[in-house]
Structure 1
Amino acid sequence: MTNENTRTVRIAFQTLGCRLNQYDTEVMKARLPSGLHYVTVPWDADADVYVLNSCTVTLKADQKCRQLSRAVKRRRPDAKVVVTGCYAQTQHAALAAMPELDGVFGLDEREDIAEWLPRLLAADARLIEVADFQPHAVFRSHDITDFDGRTRAFVKVQDGCDLNCSYCLIQRARGPNRSRPVAEICRQIEVLRGSGFGEIVLAGVHLGGYGQDLELGKALVTMLAQVLQRFPSMRFRLSSIHPTEIRPPLLELFETCTNLRPYLHISLQSGSDTVLRRMRRPYDVASAGRAIEAAAGLSPHFGIGADVIVGFPGETDDEFAATRSFIERSALSYLHVFRFSPRPGTPAAEMRPVHTETVTERSRVLRGLSRRKRRAFETRLIGHWHEATVETDRPAPDRRQATTGNYAAVSVPDTWEPGAMVVLKPAGFRDDTLYADEVAPAPGD
C-alpha cells in the first residue's frame, strides 16, 4: 500500500428496506470510482469503508440503522462508516449528531459515490451532504451488471411519490414521482440478461404512477407491454401496486403474456373505509375488493399478496373487525402484516395511538389469518404444474427452495441449480412445507 493510486480499499455494503434500496446498493457498487482498487467484502468482514443504505419506513428501521452503525464502529474504529438512503435523506441532522458516522449522504448524493468516496478516504473531517429534491426532478438512470447473491434481479423503473398518505415519509424521502424511460429500462434488462438473469422484478415506490411524467397514456401498461414483447423468453414480476391500478388493460396482459408471472402484491393497508380515509389512501374498500376479485378471476392459481397496517391511530374494534372480515372474504393468498409506526412530521404521528397490547393482539390475529389463507392457496396448487425459479435457500440438506410464478415456496430436489427455470407439480406438504419431486426444465430453457 505504498502507492495511493494502487492500494486496495475494502468496502462493505449493507442494505435495509425495500427492493428499490437493494437496486440502489447495486448501483453504488457499479459506480465505484476508478483509480483505487476497490474490493467489496461482506458486512461482517474487516473493511476500510462501511456503507449502510438505510430505510425509514418504520421506527425499527431507524433504530436498526443506528445499531448497525454503532456496532461496526466499535468493531472497526479506524474504518469510515457512512449512512445513506431514506433515513439519511429525511433525518440527516440526527445522524450527523452520531459520532460513529464519518459520512451522511442523501439519495441524489448516494449515486455520486465515485465523487465523494475518494474525498471521504482522504478527509479528516466528516462529510454531511444531503440536498432537497427539486420539484421537477427527473429519473437518474444508472445501469447495474449484477445482483449479488440473487437468482432474480430488481430493476428500478420508477421512483418517488406524489401521493400524500397521512402516515408516510416516503414522499419526503424519495421526492416526486419520476419514471425511467422505456428505452433505458430495456437497456438495463438487456445487460442483466447478458449476466445470466432470467427473471426480473420491475420495482417502484408507486409503480402505478409510472409514466405520468412522461406523457405515456396508459403509462404502466404501455411500458410493461413493450418490455414483455421485447424479452419473450424472460420472466417478469411487478413489485407492488395500489388496488385501483388493477384495471382491464393490465389484467389483459396477465391473460395474454406467458412471461408475466401470475402474481400481484397489493398495498391494501386496511379493510375499513374510515381507516383508509384517515390514512388518505386513494381508494375505498369496495374498489379494492373489486380489483382483488378481478385479478383472482384470471385463474384459481393466481397469487395475490397484500400489505396491511394494524393499530393505525384511532383504529376501533369495529374498524379492525371490518378489516378482518374483508380479508377473510377476499381472494388474497397471504398478508404482510405491519404494526403502525409513527413517523416524525406526519399527520398520523399526531393522532391518538392504539394501546400496544391491542396492536399486538390484532397483529397476532391477522398473522394467523394470513397463515390459513396461504395454506389454503398452496393446497389448491397440489397436483398441478407450475413454472418456478430455483433459489439458493435450502429447506433441508438435500433440497432447494423454488418459488413458483404465483409466489409459493416449494421444496425441490437439490439436483437443480439456483436460477434454473423449471416446471414442478406439488405433491403435498412435508414438514409444513409444500414439496415437489416431479420437476422438469421449463419450456424454452
Structure 2
Amino acid sequence: MTAPKFTTLGCRLNAYETEAMKEMSREAGLEGAVVVNTCAVTSEAVRKARQEIRRLRRENPDARLVVTGCAAQTEPETFAAMEEVDAVIGNTEKMNPATWMGLAADFTGETERVRVDDIMSATETAGHLIDGFGTRSRAYVQVQNGCDHRCTFCIIPYGRGNSRSVPAGVVVDQIKRLVQRGYNEVVLTGVDLTSWGADLPGAPRLGDLVMRILKLTDVPRLRISSIDSIEVDDALMQAIATETRLMPHLHLSLQHGDDLILKRMKRRHLRDDAIAFVEKARRLRPDMTFGADIIAGFPTETEAHFENSLRLVEECDLTWLHVFPYSPRPGTPAARMPQVDGRAIKSRAARLREAGETRVARHLAAQVGRAHRVLMENPRMGRTEQFTEVEFATDQPEGRIVSATITGHAGSRLVA
C-alpha cells in the first residue's frame, strides 16, 4: 500500500491544513487514499473541485477518494452524490486526528455525509498546529480561522464558522520552533486575519500579536497575509512604521472601488477609507507595496461602478491584483440580486487584469538598479521584501537571504 495522496485547492489556509492532514494520516497509518481539500470561494472553484475529483479517480481507480474542505462543508450533497467519491468529511472532522484513525481502521467504502451546520466550534482555534510548510525558506502559521462578518457575496463563513484565534503564546512558541529549524520567513495566515484576538481575554489586536512576535522571537522576516484595512489597529501601524522585520507588502481585501457596490456587498469600508489607509501606510513605510482582491461584475454593477474599481487600482497604487469574476453562491444575499451579464463580467475582469499587469510592469521597471535583500526559495529564484520574484543567473544558497542588485526584468520577474 502507499501513503495518501493530497490535492489542495484554494487558499493558503487550505494548504496549511493539508499539511496537518498529511501528518495526522501518517500517524494514523492511513494508506491507499486520495484526499481532495476543496475551496468554495466561487462557483467556479466548486466546478474545478468536481473536475479534479473526476481526474483523480481516473488516475487512481482503486484508491479510496476522500473529499473535504470548504466546498465539502457548504454543499456536502454535491460531492456525496458523485460516484467517484468514497467519503465526505467537513472542516471540523478533517482537523481531528480521530477522523484519520477511523478511516485507517475501517474504511467501509460507504460515502459519509456531514451536516452543513457541522462547523468547527467556537472553542476550537486552529485545530492541529504544524511546524510550517512550503519551501525550506518560508513557513505559514495559521493564527485565526472563521469569520464573524457576512459579506453578501461570501459563502466562506458557512464553511469556516465564526472567528476564533490561536492564543499569542501558542503562536510565539510555534514561530520559535520554526526559527530553530532554519526558516527565515514566517507568514501569518487566517480567514479574517485582522479579527485576530477579539475572542481572547482582553481582546488583543493583530498589531499586538505582531509586536509580540517581533519582540519575543528572532524571526528574520515576518509577513502578513490578506487583511481588511478598515480593521487595522494602531499597534499594527506602529509595526509598519518601526519594524523592519515586518515585510513591506500588504494584501488588502478591498473587493470594489465604488461606495454603492461596497454597501451592497456589506463591506465595512468605503472607497476613501481604502485610499486613506494606503496613503498613511506608505507615508510610514515608503517602500510598501500593495496587492488587493477585487470582484468584477458584482450584481447591479454598472459601467460607472466598474470604472471606480479601475481608478482605485491607480489611486491606491496597487501592484498585485487578484481579480475575481463574480459568480453567485447559492444561499448568499448577492445571489438574489439582479445579476450582470456574463459577457460583461468577463470583459470587466479582463480589463482589471490588464490594469494589474500594467502596474506590475511599472513596479518591475522601477526596481532596475536597486539593491534588494532576496529570500531564496530555490537556487535560482527568490523574493524581495515586497514579495516580487527575482531570477538569478547563478545558483544561490536555498533558504538564505542574499543581497542582490536588480539588472532587469522578464515577464513578471526581476532579474539579478
1:52 aligns with 2:45: no
C-alpha deviation, 1:119, in angstroms: 3.4
1:93 aligns with 2:93: no
Unaligned runs of 5+ in 1: 1-7, 39-46, 393-398, 437-445
Residues 196-230 of structure 1, C-alpha deviations (whole Å, 9 max, x = no match): 22111100100110000003444111111111112
**Which residue of 63, 78, 90 corresponds with 1:79?**
63
Check conservation: 2:374, 2:404, Cα contact below 8 A.
yes
C-alpha deviation, 1:114, in angstroms: 4.6
1:419 maps to: 399
C-alpha deviation, 1:408, in angstroms: 1.3
| Cα distance in 2 for residues equivalent to 1:217 and 1:74 | 49
| Matched position secondary structure for 1:268 | strand
1:385 aligns with 2:371: yes
| Cα distance in 1 for residues equivalent to 2:25 and 2:180 | 21
1:165 aligns with 2:151: yes
2:7 maps to: 14
| Cα distance in 1 for residues equivalent to 2:235 and 2:28 | 49
2:52 maps to: 68
| Cα distance in 2 for residues equivalent to 1:155 and 1:102 | 31
Structure-2 change in CA distance of 1:145 and 1:300 (3 Å): closer
C-alpha deviation, 1:49, in angstroms: 0.4
1:23 aligns with 2:16: yes
Q: Which moved more, 1:414-423 or 1:350-359?
A: 414-423
Q: Which moved more, 1:110-119 or 1:11-20?
A: 110-119
1:133 maps to: 119
Check conservation: 1:232, 1:259, Cα contact below 8 A.
no
| Cα distance in 2 for residues equivalent to 1:274 and 1:34 | 51
Q: Which amino acid aligns with 1:110?
A: K
| Matched position secondary structure for 2:124 | coil
Q: Which moved more, 1:136-145 or 1:57-66?
A: 136-145
1:275 maps to: 261
Structure-2 change in CA distance of 1:202 and 1:433 (3 Å): closer
| Cα distance in 2 for residues equivalent to 1:118 and 1:94 | 23
Counterparts in 2 of 1:177-196, with a 5 A limit? 177-196=163-182
Counterparts in 2 of 1:304-383, with a 5 A limit? 304-383=290-369
| Cα distance in 2 for residues equivalent to 1:431 and 1:219 | 39
C-alpha deviation, 1:310, in angstroms: 0.4
Residues 149-199 of structure 1, C-alpha deviations (whole Å, 9 max, x = no match): 553111100000000100001110100000000111122222322332211
Check conservation: 2:80, 2:111, Cα contact below 8 A.
no
Check conservation: 1:306, 1:335, Cα contact below 8 A.
yes
Q: Which moved more, 1:399-408 or 1:198-207?
A: 399-408
C-alpha deviation, 1:433, in angstroms: 3.7
Q: Which amino acid aligns with 1:406?
A: Q
| Cα distance in 1 for residues equivalent to 2:339 and 2:32 | 43
| Matched position secondary structure for 1:405 | coil
| Cα distance in 2 for residues equivalent to 1:28 and 1:432 | 33
| Cα distance in 2 for residues equivalent to 1:432 and 1:35 | 42
1:428 aligns with 2:403: no
| Cα distance in 2 for residues equivalent to 1:432 and 1:171 | 33
Check conservation: 2:80, 2:113, Cα contact below 8 A.
no
Structure-2 change in CA distance of 1:82 and 1:107 (3 Å): same
| Cα distance in 2 for residues equivalent to 1:53 and 1:426 | 38
Structure-2 change in CA distance of 1:228 and 1:432 (3 Å): closer
C-alpha deviation, 1:235, in angstroms: 0.9
Structure-2 change in CA distance of 1:275 and 1:345 (3 Å): same
Residues 45-77 of structure 1, C-alpha deviations (whole Å, 9 max, x = no match): xx7100111100011211121112122222322
Q: Which amino acid aligns with 2:14?
A: N
Structure-2 change in CA distance of 1:108 and 1:381 (3 Å): same
Unaligned runs of 5+ in 2: none
| Cα distance in 2 for residues equivalent to 1:201 and 1:186 | 13
C-alpha deviation, 1:120, in angstroms: 5.3
Check conservation: 2:89, 2:113, Cα contact below 8 A.
yes
| Matched position secondary structure for 2:191 | coil
| Cα distance in 2 for residues equivalent to 1:404 and 1:10 | 36
Q: Which amino acid aligns with 2:88?
A: V
| Cα distance in 1 for residues equivalent to 2:213 and 2:113 | 36
